[in-house]
Amino acid sequence: MGIATIQNTGTLVTHHMSETLRVYCDSLGTFVELPVKPRRIVSLASGLTEALVHMGYSDSIAAISSWCPNFVPNLQVPIVGDYLSVDERQLRAVQPDLFLITTGVQRGLARKLLKQGIPVYALPLPNSLHGILENVMALGALVDDMSAARALTHKWNRIFLDLKTNGPISKPRIYTELWFGKHARMTGGLTFVHDLIETAGGENIFGHIRNGYLILDLDEVKRINPDIFLIYSEPQYPIDPAALQAERGWDFPIIQADIQPNHNLIHDGPSMMDTAQWLSNSIQKIWSKKENE
C-alpha cells in the first residue's frame, strides 16, 4: 500500500491509496477520516461553498448555511444551519462525508460536531489574499482536484495583479468602516479587506497597524482627513452613510458596500474578484473627479 503526503497551510494529508484518507487538521489538532473523493459535502462557510461551485463541485454539495445562498443562489440544497449553529437532526439526515467550517468563533462548533462523529475539517480564517488562496488549494486537496484549485487561484491572482498594475499612480487615502450587525470596526493591515482596498487602487489609512479589525477612533480619522469613506453594512442592520457623516461632522466622498456578491467587502469567495473590479471603478470615478476639480 503506497503512501503520499501533501503539505498545505500547515496541514498534513496522508493518503493510503484506498477509499479513505486520514487527514490531520491542524486547526482542530486531530486526525479526521475522510473519503478520497467526498460526494456529500456540507459547508457552513460561504467562501468555501462558492469556491466549490467555481471548481465544478456543485453536485457534491449536500447542504449549506443560511448565509451561503447570497453567493450561490442557484444551489438547490438544504440549509442546515447558520454561521454559529447547526440543526443536528437535519445534519445527520444529510449524512455528510465532509463538513467544512472555519476557525475563529466557528471553532467551538467544529469541535463539538467532531466529538459526535461528524467528519469535520476546519480551514483557517484568512488574514490576507494569500490566506484565501491557500484555503482554495487546501480545498482542492480535500476533494482530490488540485488542478481545479490551481486554475481558480491563477485566475484570482491574475485579476488582482491586473487591477493593481492599472490602478492610479497617486492613490486616494481610504477610511474603511465595517458594520458587523450593530458593531462597527475600522480596517487594519492584517485582513484581506486591506488587500482588496490596495488592489482596487486605494491606500488603507490604517494599513500600517498590525491587526485586522480595530475599535473606532473617530478623532484619528478626522485628523488624517481621508479622501474616501468606504463603508459596509448588512441589511439586518442598515447604516445610512450620509446621516452617519452628518452626525460626525464629516464630509467625505462615500462608497457604500453591501451584501451583494460583487459589492461585499467581507466575503472571501471567488466573487471577491468582481468586488475588486467594482471597488476599483468606484475609486477611480471619485478620484478622477477630485483630481480634475
Residue 88 lies in domain? 4-156
Same domain, 178 and 136: no
Q: How many domains does the structure of the chain reveal?
A: 2
Residues 26 and 112 in one domain: yes
The confidence band for 13, taking pLDDT boundaries of 50, 70 and 90, is very low
Residue 249: Cβ within 10 Å count:
8
Nearest residue to 270 (alpha-carbon basis) of 106, 190, 152: 152
Predicted local distance difference test score (pLDDT) of residue 168: 83
Determine, yes or no, domain membership for 277: yes
Residues 128 and 212 in one domain: no
Q: What is the pLDDT of residue 293?
A: 64
| pLDDT of amino acid 126 | 96
Residue 222 and residue 196 in one domain:
yes
Kindly tell me the burial class for residue 120, based on how many C-beta atoms sit within 10 Å of its own C-beta (0-12, 13-18, 19 or more): buried
Whether pTM > 0.85 for this model: the answer is: yes
* Structural domain contains residue 163: no
Whether the pLDDT of residue 135 is over 60: the answer is yes
Q: Among residues 127, 156, 185, which one ends one of the domains?
A: 156
pLDDT band at residue 12 using 50, 70 and 90 as cut-offs: very low
Question: With pLDDT > 90 as the criterion, what percentage of the chain qualifies?
Answer: 86
Give the CATH number of the domain where residue 140 resides: 3.40.50.1980
In a domain, 161, yes or no: no
Q: What is the pLDDT of residue 8?
A: 42
Q: Same domain, yes or no, for 135 and 269? A: no
> What does the pLDDT average to over 240-257?
96
Co-location of 142 and 206 in the same domain? no
Is 19 inside a domain boundary? yes
* 164 inside domain: no
Q: For residue 107, give the H/E element and its range.
A: helix 107-115
- Residue 291 is predicted with a pLDDT of 65
Give the pLDDT band of residue 290 (cuts 50, 70, 90): confident
User: Given pLDDT bands bounded at 50, 70 and 90, which one contains residue 184?
Assistant: very high
What is the rounded distance in angstroms from the CA atom of residue 258 to the CA atom of residue 115? Answer: 37
